[in-house]
A = this chain, B = another copy of it.
Amino acid sequence: MIVDERRSKILRIAEECGFVSLQRLVAEIDASESTIRRDLEYLDTIGQIQRTRGGASFIGDSLSDFDSRKSRASLEKQHIARRTADLISSGETVLLDGGTTTLEVARYLTGKSLQILTNSLPIASLLMNRPEVELIFIGGYVYPRTGVALGEQAVEAVRKMHASRLVMSTGGITAEGLFNSNALLVDTERQMIRAADRVTLVADSSKFGQRALSILCPLTDVHEIVTDDGVSDEWRSVMESAGIHMEVVETVAHAARVR
Contacts and interface: CB of A to CB of B under 8 A. Distances in A.
A53 B142 CA distance: 30
Given A137-B139, A139-B136, A157-B139, A53 B125 contact: no
A130 B121 CA distance: 14
Contact of A2 (B53, B122, B125): B53
A67 interface: yes
A122 to B, nearest CB: 8
A137 B135 contact: no
A19 interface: yes
A234 interface: no
Interface in A120-155: 121-122, 124-125, 128-131, 134-142, 144-145, 147, 149, 153-154
* Interface SS, A side: mixed
B142 A2 contact: no
- How many copies of the chain does the oligomer comprise? 2
A57 interface: yes
A230 interface: no
| Chain A: interface size category | 35 or more
A55 interface: yes
Given A59-B67, A137-B149, A139-B153, 14 more contacts: A2-B21, A2-B55, A4-B57, A121-B124, A124-B147, A128-B145, A131-B144, A136-B141, A136-B153, A137-B137, A137-B140, A138-B139, A139-B140, A139-B157
14 contacts: A2-B19, A4-B52, A4-B55, A50-B67, A59-B67, A121-B125, A124-B147, A128-B144, A136-B142, A137-B139, A137-B140, A139-B140, A139-B153, A157-B157
